[in-house]
Structure 1
Amino acid sequence: MDAVRKSFVDLHEGRCRLLPVVREGLSNRLGTFGVKSAEYDSLGLVGLKAGGYWPGNTGNDTRLTNHQSTTLLFDATSGLALASVEANWLTEARTAAAGAVAMDVLARKDAETLGIFGTGMQARSQIEAALLARQFTTIRICGRNPATAKALAEAIRETHPGIEVLVADAEETVRGSDVLITVTPSKEALFPPEWVPDGQHINAMGADTVGKRELPRTLLGRARLFHDDLGQSEILGEFQGYKDHAEKSVSIGSVLANTFVFSRDERDVTIFDGTGVAVQDIAVSWVAYKAA
Structure 2
Amino acid sequence: MITVTHHYVYHHECLKQVAENEKTSRTVYPVQYRGTTNLYRKQTVPEACCLPDRWQKVLTDTASEGNEWLVEQLLINGAHPDAGKTGEMTPLYLAATNKEIDVVCYLMESGATFNPDVFNLLEDDAASLQYKTNLAILYLNHNQHHEAYQRLIACAKDGGECALEHLSEIVAEKTGDKEDQTNALNLLNSVTTDNTTINLNMGLIYLGGGATPGDFRKAMQHFHHAAGHQCLPGLLALNYLGVMHEHGLGVEQDNDQALDYYRQAGKPGNEEAVNNRKRLENKIAENQRQERLSSLRSAEDLC
Fold match (TM-score > 0.5)? no
Q: TM-score range by the shorter chain?
A: under 0.3
Structure whose residues are more often strand by fraction:
1
**Largest Rg, 1 or 2:** 2
Question: TM-score, with normalisation over the residues of structure 2?
Answer: 0.24
Structure whose residues are more often helix by fraction:
2
Question: TM-score, with normalisation over the residues of structure 1?
Answer: 0.25
